[in-house]
């Protein structure tokens, strides 16, 4: 690193850092300690029993685009990979695991271009994809099905749709050496596509159910067939489920039952779960949501598992398992949810999520993300607030309490609750504010009060400013205040000791881009050189580690946003993280003190409708830091920093203490270079490239404050600093009191 060769005397001034460092050090959003599957539908899936992993390939992402990713789930985390050699991007392919050769076998599928249908065979050994070629093989197809016949050690393929759109009814088998045509005529099930298949180990039969037939105008099928290795036989069972396509069928060896879940009929996705035991179908209750295009298979020690698909809230990324009595998320998740609220308990540093909305339903669960646990846990509590969304939620910085106010379950609310980490308690306040939703809440330490503003009521928008001291609400209507709004972003800025408000939407639905701050008595309209585009539903969070507010996402007039902005106390600065969550609004956010990063959770996009269930953290690849260099020959002089030197800091501050009062002092900053000894003293910034003078106050202290340019290229650079007080009998040359040196590492 080098500093500009400029020698400044007088008041604190801006310093321009010229750094010779890699541009790779920057911010990035991550999904935390556990890798999370992307939204996907129509992937190929198989359980690799040799390596204990669930393998997915391809499928459509949330944009409806075919992918060529390979995902593996080891029971703890999803890991994506893109081997150098792999099948081209596709969806509606099928895969099975061959335990004889310990290979995942994949066949067929459809690409992004219309009519682009594949007839290739690939095998995956856990690390590498290999294409197999055969003189004889099934024709290209999509929406077929493929299962492993464990009794005969071979894969069985049936049906699908060819590149011309013709629906197929042929049956093929693959033994790892060759493809063998078994039935290519009309014998067996009617030609069909998007049907369900599974292997029934108790009956030693491949079972086929439903799908779409080739007959124009005919209803979707609800017939059941079995393949014994030589012929197909129609099977009659009681209480047969209604016909459907894009359902999934899986066998549970623990109970010798077949499970049918999901599917679609008449453009309606189904949330039905049926169980076939013996010759009787039974419909089970509480399935894990409507979906089609998912994949379902048995995983030893876990049960029948379903992953991905397309539901009412859009593309899915969740993995759920049937325990034998109920469906559970694996691992436990909060579910896809928007307009929930997230806050941190100060004593335990646990993140607490409450409520939210998804796919027409309001939620009222209390979830905790424990420090170091890397998963969400749903608490079982005797008394909780009722289900709701768009409520306000904030924590106290020293008391282990979280305050919740208002929200909606279709009707705006005005109740107040306090959560202490184990118990919810409703507060019986003497004066109730008006019912509202879409407001926010932040704690203001200087006045020790929670503050909220505006929001939407039953018959209009509020214009009041509310404050809460833990037992009583105070309602004010200052004449100078932001305009009435909802879904604005609100958080406390410790740099200016004020609560900052940004954006929102007014009563007409227009998004706003103004910035205001509340100092405990009045609102201040803040005008900065630049600001984020107008939006509502964004999050705003104080980053304690980097001393700035972080704004993410929201909804603009043209759609959801995925940009990241920071407020440094005086100006908005747009950041360009190396990676970021997909655009969203109405997500929840707070600061995770254990990880040292801003956390966001959930949220939604509206076109297409997608609800998110993931937690993301804003990680810093280069943390700003300050460390001491050597010692001082002065018995009292000390140089300290108020914080780490972050790019974009409006007033990075160094303080020189223990020097002679009412005398001039000097701060020098220099390129790292060897120190120079002069008598018993040492110069740690001997180049004196930048110099700032300041008069020492009556307490023997001097403050040096200057901005650090907002330039990502500075990240990773290093400078040395040292302070000097003027003293006629000082130990350095009988003139100066030198401090120890400081090593300043520029960071985020």
Mean pLDDT of the chain: 91
pLDDT reading at 696 higher than 70: yes
pLDDT in tens, 217-246: 667 999 999 999 999 999 999 899 999 999
> Across residues 575-588, what is the average pLDDT?
91
pLDDT reading at 596 higher than 50: yes
The yes-or-no answer to whether 2-26+623-745 and 341-620 have a common fold is: no
pLDDT reading at 316 higher than 70: yes
pLDDT reading at 328 higher than 90: no
pLDDT of residue 31: 72
pLDDT-above-90 percentage for the chain: 74
Dihedral over alpha carbons 432, 437, 441, 447 (to 10 degrees): -30
pLDDT in tens, 67-107: 999 999 988 778 899 999 999 999 999 999 999 999 999 99
pLDDT of residue 25: 40
pLDDT of residue 371: 66
pLDDT in tens, 684-693: 999 888 889 9
Are 230 and 261 within 8 A, CB to CB?
Answer: no
> Across residues 569-588, what is the average pLDDT?
92
pLDDT reading at 114 higher than 90: no
pLDDT reading at 362 higher than 60: yes
Between strands 232-234 and 205-213, the pairing is unpaired
Among positive and negative, which fits the CA dihedral 61, 65, 69, 70? positive
pLDDT reading at 9 higher than 80: no
Among positive and negative, which fits the CA dihedral 532, 537, 539, 540? positive
Are 210 and 223 within 8 A, CB to CB?
Answer: yes
Q: Which CATH architecture describes the domain 93-329? A: 6 Propeller (2.120)
pLDDT reading at 185 higher than 80: no
Q: Give the residue with greater pLDDT, 48 vs 622.
A: 48
pLDDT reading at 216 higher than 70: no
pLDDT reading at 5 higher than 50: no
pLDDT reading at 116 higher than 90: yes
Are 37 and 78 within 8 A, CB to CB?
Answer: yes
pLDDT reading at 36 higher than 90: no
Joined together, the tokens standing for residue 142 give 């999509």
Number of H helices, E strands in the chain: 0, 67
Span of 374-383, 452-461, 480-489 with lowest mean pLDDT: 374-383
Q: Give the residue with greater pLDDT, 369 vs 516.
A: 516
pLDDT of residue 500: 99
pLDDT in tens, 736-747: 999 999 999 998
pLDDT of residue 356: 96
Starting from the edge strand earliest in sequence, which strands make up the sheet with 638-641, in order?
Answer: 638-641, 652-657, 701-706
Predicted confidence band of residue 332 (pLDDT cuts 50, 70, 90): low
CATH no. of 2-26+623-745: 2.60.40.10
pLDDT-above-70 percentage for the chain: 94
> Across residues 51-79, what is the average pLDDT?
92
> Domain segments of the chain: what residues?
2-26+623-745, 93-329, 341-620
Which residues are CB-contacts of 638 (< 8 A; sequence separation ≥ 6)?
632, 656, 657, 658, 739, 740
- Cα separation, 437 vs 446, whole angstroms: 26
- Cα separation, 359 vs 4, whole angstroms: 57
Predicted confidence band of residue 498 (pLDDT cuts 50, 70, 90): very high
Q: Does domain 341-620 have CATH number 2.120.10.80?
A: yes
pLDDT of residue 711: 78
Span of 237-251, 320-334, 452-466, 730-744 with lowest mean pLDDT: 320-334
């Amino acid at each position: 690193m080098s500093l500009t060769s400029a020698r400044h005397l007088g008041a604190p001034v801006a310093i321009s850092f010229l750094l010779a460092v890699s541009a790779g050090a920057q911010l990035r959003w991550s999904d935390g300690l556990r890798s999370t599957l992307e939204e996907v539908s129509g992937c190929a899936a198989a359980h690799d029993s040799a390596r204990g992993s669930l393998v997915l390939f391809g499928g459509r992402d949330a944009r409806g685009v075919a992918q060529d990713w390979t995902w593996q789930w080891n029971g703890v985390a999803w890991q994506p990979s893109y081997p150098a050699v792999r099948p081209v991007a596709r969806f509606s392919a099928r895969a099975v695991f061959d335990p004889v050769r310990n290979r995942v076998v994949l066949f067929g599928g459809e690409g992004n271009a219309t009519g682009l249908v594949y007839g290739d065979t690939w095998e995956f050994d856990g690390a590498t994809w290999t294409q197999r070629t055969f003189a004889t093989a099934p024709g290209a197809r999509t929406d077929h099905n493929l299962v492993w016949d464990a009794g005969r050690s071979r894969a069985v393929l049936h049906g699908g749709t060819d590149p011309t759109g013709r629906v197929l009814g042929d049956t093929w088998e693959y033994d790892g050496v060759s493809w063998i045509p078994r039935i290519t005529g009309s014998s067996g099930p009617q030609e069909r596509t998007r049907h369900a298949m599974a292997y029934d180990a108790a009956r030693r039969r491949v079972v086929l159910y439903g799908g779409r037939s080739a007959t124009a105008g005919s209803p979707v099928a609800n017939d059941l067939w079995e393949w014994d290795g030589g012929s197909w036989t129609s099977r009659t069972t009681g209480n047969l489920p209604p016909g459907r396509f894009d359902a999934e069928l899986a066998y549970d060896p623990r109970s010798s039952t077949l499970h049918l879940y999901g599917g679609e009929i008449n453009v309606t996705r189904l949330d039905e779960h049926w169980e076939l035991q013996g010759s009787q179908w039974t419909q089970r209750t509480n399935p894990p949501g409507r979906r089609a295009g998912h994949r379902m298979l048995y995983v030893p020690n876990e049960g029948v598992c379903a992953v991905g698909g397309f539901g009412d809230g859009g593309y899915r990324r969740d993995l759920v398992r049937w325990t034998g009595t109920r469906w559970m998320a694996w691992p436990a998740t909060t579910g896809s949810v928007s307009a929930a609220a997230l806050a941190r308990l100060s004593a335990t540093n646990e993140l607490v999520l409450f409520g939210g909305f998804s796919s027409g339903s309001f939620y009222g669960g209390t979830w905790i993300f424990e420090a170091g646990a890397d998963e969400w846990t749903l608490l079982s509590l005797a008394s909780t607030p009722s289900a709701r969304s768009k409520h306000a939620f904030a924590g106290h910085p020293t008391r282990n309490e979280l305050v919740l106010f208002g929200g909606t379950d279709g009707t705006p609310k005005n109740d107040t609750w306090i959560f202490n980490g184990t118990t919810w308690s409703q507060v019986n306040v003497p004066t109730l504010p008006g019912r509202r939703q879409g407001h926010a809440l932040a704690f203001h330490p200087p006045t020790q009060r929670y503050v909220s503003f505006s929001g939407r009521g039953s018959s209009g928008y509020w214009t009041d400013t509310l404050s809460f001291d833990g037992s009583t609400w105070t309602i004010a209507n200052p004449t100078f205040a932001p305009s009435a709004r909802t879904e604005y972003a609100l958080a406390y800025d410790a740099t200016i000791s004020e609560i900052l408000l940004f954006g929102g939407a007014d009563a007409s639905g227009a998004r706003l881009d103004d910035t205001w701050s509340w100092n405990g008595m009045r609102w201040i309209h803040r005008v900065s050189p630049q600001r984020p585009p107008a939006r509502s539903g964004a999050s705003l969070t104080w980053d304690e580690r980097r001393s700035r507010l972080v704004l993410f996402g929201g909804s603009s007039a043209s759609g959801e946003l995925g940009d990241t902005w920071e407020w440094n106390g005086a100006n908005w600065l747009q950041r360009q993280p190396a990676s970021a969550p997909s655009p969203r609004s109405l997500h929840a956010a707070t600061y995770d003190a254990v990880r040292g990063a801003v956390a966001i959770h959930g949220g939604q996009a509206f076109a297409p409708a997608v609800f998110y269930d993931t937690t993301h953290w804003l990680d810093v690849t280069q943390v700003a830091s300050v460390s001491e260099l050597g010692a001082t020959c002065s018995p009292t002089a000390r140089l300290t920093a108020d914080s780490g030197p972050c790019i974009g800091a409006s007033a990075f501050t160094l303080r020189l203490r223990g020097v002679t009062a009412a005398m001039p002092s000097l701060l020098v900053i220099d390129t790292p270079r060897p120190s120079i000894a002069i008598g018993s003293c040492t110069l740690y910034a001997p180049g004196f490239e930048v110099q700032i003078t300041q008069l020492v106050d009556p307490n023997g202290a001097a403050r040096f404050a200057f901005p650090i340019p907002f330039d990502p290229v500075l990240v990773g650079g290093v400078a040395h600093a040292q302070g000097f007080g003027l003293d006629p009998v000082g130990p350095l040359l009988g003139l100066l009191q030198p401090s120890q040196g400081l090593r300043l590492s520029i960071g985020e």
